[in-house]
Structure 1
């Protein structure tokens, strides 16, 4: 089981830099960051761009993998996003991971005035944009079958006209995709293109209704659905990583080191290969006991 962290982009980098450096020192597999214009959890707080933050993080680290968890079509067109990905993979010398999902129906898409006023895109359109974005990102970052890196694509939602991405990714054939999906079609996209699939630990129900047992049962069911999606895509289910982003449920993941071990153990039994915890903040969301992150770190286990 790989253990990774998620560091919110809510502080100027001169203040946040030691956190990124410390995450590497503690031996975490990867350090991710949210990619939003704004985030509902901190609507009135400072919030910085994920891509510049990750570029800066690459400059103060040398080994830890870095990535978004997750970017989305809500305000990321595949062509400029692919250009950023190639650049970040170069800056980090092959350590970048692209986490990508359909995104939420509010916040980023609504800010840009997209979809139904005040509601963003419909569930169907968000799913369609996700699938089309992943297909185009794969083509842009991998290159055409004849070796060219000039991509032309005409989709329902996106187009690319002779889009040139030289020299391509440091990681070949391209950076790994960690794809968020809950429905059958999205899971098939994850099975077709993903190095890993990512899901949050909320169990898909309102917070007041969540219990540990319910959460684990929902996660187990989603694992079965993912296996079925892999089989439909002709992929060995064991070849697809399974990433759990924690912090959204009542699971005692960061209350204590023992709580983390219990959750991680249950998740490993379900088939997860990576568990992501949030690096503790001073207050508000994810303000968990600071000593726990030190105790659960791979370097100290």
Structure 2
């Protein structure tokens, strides 16, 4: 079992990793700027930072930049990045809106699926890794980037005669990326000691605490990986379907405890709070429902906004 405090890098490593992220972001931005004019519909490039050797671990960042340089929409983009002996600390998808892609992460590889990629659109997958050895490099040929009816082409190295505006814009994006990266760690102190492990096992534990024994057993035996927000959807649906006020209250207690106990991505937290609002809306405590709904809407997340518009049960508390 691991907690987020044990797996989190030191402050020095975080700062150095943020600087490495700036370099990667800048370089990837220049590459996207340069490969936009290439004739191949789907291009990608792989960028890896130098390895930083810390006192307790070695750290590096790998970025895969994917670009649709064509005039048409590309479908079913699938990227597979083998991790080898490296261990993933945190993935970041830059250039795609939350909910517009899916990811499947296991100790061996990172898989990102994008249903469609608009013309001239690009995005990058950035992976913060800890390494078993000080010397390490990514094997470009082992990375798979494909779309429907097309295999991506590995872009050539960037021309030395770089355009100043292209570099400047990439640098600005990189600085913003570093700021977000550092603030993610230093302004989330409340999450430092939260449980961070297989999401199925964590939620199964919380479900068992609140008497959802059957659901906990089913979740532990589930073959595919599943996200916190998806599990929250399932819990809320089962509680609402029961029509039992006591079961609904257990569902509220269960999901609120999950927020307190587990290390959860901010977007998933917002979706869990949306489900808490759904459950609370069926009780007499409409103030609680409004509070959860207000928390869910703070991120101005388009997925949550659409869900609220679809959900007639929330109309009375909006």
- The alignment's TM-score, normalised by the length of structure 2, stands at 0.27
More strand by share: 2
